[in-house]
Each structure stands twice: as C-alpha cells, then as structure tokens.
Amino acid sequence: MALSLTGSLAAMGHSIAGDEIIKNSLANFAFENYEIAAYKSLITIAEHGGFPGLAPALKSNLEEEIAMAKWLDDNLHSVTMKFASLKEAGERAKI
C-alpha cells in the first residue's frame, strides 16, 4: 500500500509538468524495478525464514512486475517519440 501511495503522489506531482507523460513513464519504470527488488527480497525471506508457503505467490507477483518493467522498457522509446512529435507540433500530450 505504501508503494502504491508513493506512485500516486509522484503522479500527482507530475500532473503540473508539461512533460507529465515522460516523468510518469520514468517514475513507473523506476517503481517497477523497485518492486522487483522488493519481491526478490521477500522471496528470500520466505524461503529462508520459515515461510516457504508464501514463495509461490510472491514469485507470481514478481513475474508480473518483471513483465510490466519489460513493457515499460519496450515502450519508453515510442512514448518519448510521440511526446516529442506532439510537442514539436505545438500540441499537448495530456488528456
């Protein structure tokens, strides 16, 4: 929940920026990688701390975070190029 709140606060802070979509993309990329590290740590604790039954669910969540981080990585170039082309055309990349 704390991680989700952090992401929401970052998005609110970026909403006043002209390049909100870029700032949010960067923050999301960092956030997903933070979550990957957190799940890896939790899996280690589960496996070595006497909670092996938790490991499968944590590993499932880890796979979701890795998939999301990959999606963000795969799409950062196109999002950046779309933002730049809109900016160049004098348009805004906001809803």
Q: Which stretches of the chain bind Fe ion, using CB under 5 A?
A: 32, 35, 65
Q: Which amino acid is at 29?
A: F
Q: Name the residue with the smallest CB distance to Fe ion.
A: 35
Q: Which amino acid is at 90?
A: G
Q: Nearest approach, Cβ of 56 to Fe ion (angstroms)?
A: 18
Q: Nearest approach, Cβ of 18 to Fe ion (angstroms)?
A: 26
Six-digit token pair at 58?
């944590």
Question: Torsion angle of alpha carbons 73, 79, 6, 12, nearest 10°?
Answer: 180
Q: Which is nearer to Fe ion, 31 or 83 (CB)?
A: 31
Q: Which is nearer to Fe ion, 20 or 35 (CB)?
A: 35
Q: Which is nearer to Fe ion, 38 or 86 (CB)?
A: 38
- Smallest CA-to-CA distance from 22 within 83, 94, 86, 87 is with 83
